[in-house]
Chains A and B, each alone.
Chain A
Amino acid sequence: MFTGPGRAMSVDTLDLLAGMPFWVAVLRIATPLILGTLGVLLCERAGVLNLGIEGIMVAGAFAGWLTVYQGGGLWTGVLVAALTGAAFGLLHGWLTVSLALSQHVSGLGITLLASSLASYAYRVSFPKVESPPTIRPFADMSAWLPLPILNQQTALTLLALLLVPALGWLLYRTPLGLALRMVGENPDAVEGQGLSVAGLRIGAVVAGSALMGVAGAFLTLAAFDAFYFNMVNGRGWVCVALVVFASWRPGKALLGALLFAFFDALQLRLQQAGAGLVGIDVPYQVYLMLPYAMAIVALVVVARRAAYPQGLMKPWRKGER
């Protein structure tokens, strides 16, 4: 039966899960994932795969942070991050929609471009620094929000949570949302009804990329207070996986992000507690691997039933029928 260190460990784990700080961490970790996944979802629903997310998040993180460092307000920083994301989104949209280039290749190129530009700009702005300069990040909402767990979060998290139903409404209840979904399923149908395929697709990519920029800004303006190289660390790719897991629906995207954040927070706490799972001494790297492995497993599980938007990744050339 359970006696000795094993039992103590599992009790500790339960305490861990019952405690508030854990869930606060989960929600905080989930925020950039929610924003990023909604961004990818918007692009893919319109039929465009956007692998630029990893780079756009870096660029957004840097741009937002720099704005605040130079004296701008925090929300100004968020806006600048969104615009930065939108700019790269516009480039991606032009390459993949107007020029009908491969969406994989263009996205990867944009990730490289955005992240290298951000790194370059950072180094130009701060040539020799021992530790990265910091700013004052978003404060939590405890001053005005009575709800538990949520009031320990920043306003950006609230924004992310509100965007989920908002995007759901947009996609399923508005004419614009219908047009976006259609353009991802059958662009010919959209053209045949007098709407602009290019306009809708590029618009979706720009809007989605803006969200990705904000996701990056969350890292420098709320989660941390400085810009580090490698701070995004694969979160953008996780968002791409989460969209498939979410079957391209905003509600399930929220669920997927929370689930992933749960495992991420868990491994963080387990590492900090210095405890192994059921008493076995596991190197900390295994805990770090868990979230990524979980994302792969989620993809495999969902892949069979995935109802892809039928126009996804198929280039559409106007006039070629």
Chain B
Amino acid sequence: MIPAPRLKLAGITKRFGDLVANDDITLELRAGEVLALLGENGAGKSTLVSILFGHYVADGGTVEVDGRVLPPGQPKSALAAGIGMVHQHFTLADNLSVLDNVMLGTEPLWRPSSRRRAARAALLATAARFGLGVDPDARVGDLSVGERQRVEILKALTRGARILILDEPTAVLTPQESLSLFATLKQLVAQGMAIVFISHKLDEVMAVSDRIVVLRAGKLVATQATEQADKDQLAEAMVGRAVPPVARERGLDVDLAAPAARIVCALHRAGVRGAGRNPALVDVSLQLRAGEVLAIAGVAGNGQRALADLLCGLLALDSGTLEVLGRSLPARPRSWIDAGVARIPEDRQAVGSIGELTLWENAVLERYHSRRFSRWGLLRSARARDHARRLVEQYDVRGAGRDGLDAPARTLSGGNLQKLILGRALSGVRYRDQGPQLIIAHQPTWGLDVGAVADLQRRLLDACARGAGVLLISEDLDEILTLADRIAVMSRGRLSAARPREAWRLADLGAAMAGLPGAAASAAAPVDTHHAA
């Protein structure tokens, strides 16, 4: 007899204004089963599980746990029904301890005194049972990303979750840590847990799940048992159309051009102290030439932010040297902009643009003080709008609505905003037709749908073909393998030697990302196979 499904979603629909995030979705989950929710960014996976957990109220449909309908919009009822969620962006308080974070909400609020000792014992017992080691008294802000995820999982387990939802859990883990997570999941499943695993990575989904459900543009488009699943079919279901893969044309043969290709960016034994106990960057060396793409791979939190800030002019070196386009620049963004460095920041809404300002103001935000856009302190808004108009056309920035250039930047979708930022970076006044000589791109395609990703990557490659050197910092290995000429790996603040893409095997990359010995460790002198003659 087939056991009744532990979880059942029937006809879930959710709209945000005009956008239909979930369209009549129905699915089931059984005990002891891992169900993968597969879909690209924006397909509606996070929305669906947020509804399941009670963060959102669905516009239509019901959620049933063990045959009983859950009252919508209350995380309390979801928790009581045994649903636990490990969020993509951890819901932890950095200033408090692990024990505090886990204990929250587990005791009735009116109890006059917390029973901390019992809670601590329970936490350690649960941690031991599933192999998730933690220190209950550690301050969460001091933990590594992998450790914080463990705390998130423990939060759910200590509340007796019987259905566990994991939202893109491997986004922040090294390949080895991911394997460790999968092992934990297998243990949980063996003990009767039902798991919903959200991901956009096909390989992982094939490795860990029993059944796969594919979402696309809010609709459920495919359901398959993993054993019978075909990767290509699933990929097509995810995307819905054939997207021509971005081909890395080796137009510029870097070897032959070596004597002529100048070094546009050179770091030698750079060190940055950073805020926490550990230094942010240690002994980092790299050389980037015009016309090549050098990718920095690595899992989040290993120093990429410090490296990006350093190379965007936001941070100063504590040791070592940095030369950009042949000279050293002070840690003032304006100097970098004036020197002609194109920078694409990681966070397009908090750092890359100002939501309240209009499109055209954002378009000239880096160069409003130049003679072209201002005179005697007055803005030459006609010229600025002209420039913005050309940028919007050239980079296909859409979605401004009736106000056009005067619409506030926050009305743009992620993809269009990124196109605007890219356009701004690549078409600074200085370059005219030539284009920038150095492009720093930090996670440029994060959170974009496949079409936008391909478009952006193509534009980066075009700029490269016109002679720019591109430093790409990315956590997406697929992107790195698509775009890079050479790859270096960042781990714990150190940078490995940069080797040509062909020289890396996936296992080596994973090992380097995890900082394991045996991978090409950071060398004292920069190892560069393209030495000047």
Contact = CB atoms under 8 A, between A and B. Distances in A.
User: Are A and B a genuine interacting pair, yes or no?
Assistant: yes
Interface of A: 173-176, 178-179, 181-182, 185-186, 188-195, 307, 309-310, 319, 321
Contact of B79 (A178, A186, A194): A194
A194 B74 contact: yes
B103 A178 contact: yes
Given A173-B113, A193-B105, A186 B76 contact: no
B91 A192 contact: yes
A189 B91 contact: yes
A176 B93 contact: no
Given A175-B107, A193-B104, 11 more contacts: A174-B111, A181-B93, A181-B100, A185-B94, A188-B91, A189-B93, A194-B54, A195-B104, A195-B105, A319-B55, A321-B50
A310 B95 CA distance: 8
B95 A185 contact: yes
B108 interface: yes
A309 B141 CA distance: 13
A190 B95 contact: no
A182 B96 contact: yes
Interface residues of B, number: 36
A173 B113 CA distance: 6
Interface string B76-88: 1111100001010
B109 A181 contact: no
A201 B444 CA distance: 37
B95 A194 contact: no
Interface string B94-125: 11100011011111111111100000000000
Contact of B112 (A174, A181, A182, A307): A174
B114 to A, nearest CB: 5
B134 interface: no
B91 A178 contact: no
Contacts of A194: 54, 74-80, 105
Contacts of A176: 109-110
Contact of A186 (B56, B92, B110): B92
Interface in B367-420: none
A175 B75 contact: no
A188 B111 CA distance: 23
A307 B85 CA distance: 29
Contacts, number: 86
Contacts of A310: 93-95
A174 B113 contact: yes
A179 B100 CA distance: 9
Interface of B: 50, 53-56, 74-80, 85, 87, 89, 91-96, 100-101, 103-114, 155
Contacts of B113: 173-174
Chain B CB within 10 A, most for which of A181, A182, A195, A310: A182
A190 B55 CA distance: 12
B77 to A, nearest CB: 8
B56 A178 contact: no
Given A175-B111, A178-B104, A179-B105, A185 B93 contact: yes
Contacts of A189: 91-93, 101, 104
B96 A181 contact: yes
Nearest to A187: B91
A178 B76 contact: no
Among A186, A190, A191, A310, the most chain B Cβ lie within 10 Å of the Cβ of A186
Nearest to A189: B91
Nearest to B50: A321
24 contacts: A174-B112, A175-B103, A176-B109, A178-B103, A178-B114, A181-B100, A182-B93, A186-B91, A186-B92, A186-B94, A188-B87, A188-B89, A191-B75, A192-B53, A192-B75, A192-B85, A192-B91, A194-B75, A194-B77, A194-B79, A194-B105, A310-B94, A321-B55, A321-B89
B157 to A, nearest CB: 13
A284 B80 CA distance: 65
A268 B101 CA distance: 48
Given A175-B114, A309-B95, A310-B94, A191 B55 contact: yes
B108 A175 contact: yes
Contacts of A174: 111-114
Nearest to B115: A175
A310 to B, nearest CB: 6
Most chain A CB within 10 A, of B55, B93, B108, is at: B93
Given A188-B91, A310-B94, A321-B55, A179 B109 contact: yes
A303 to B, nearest CB: 17
B75 A193 contact: yes
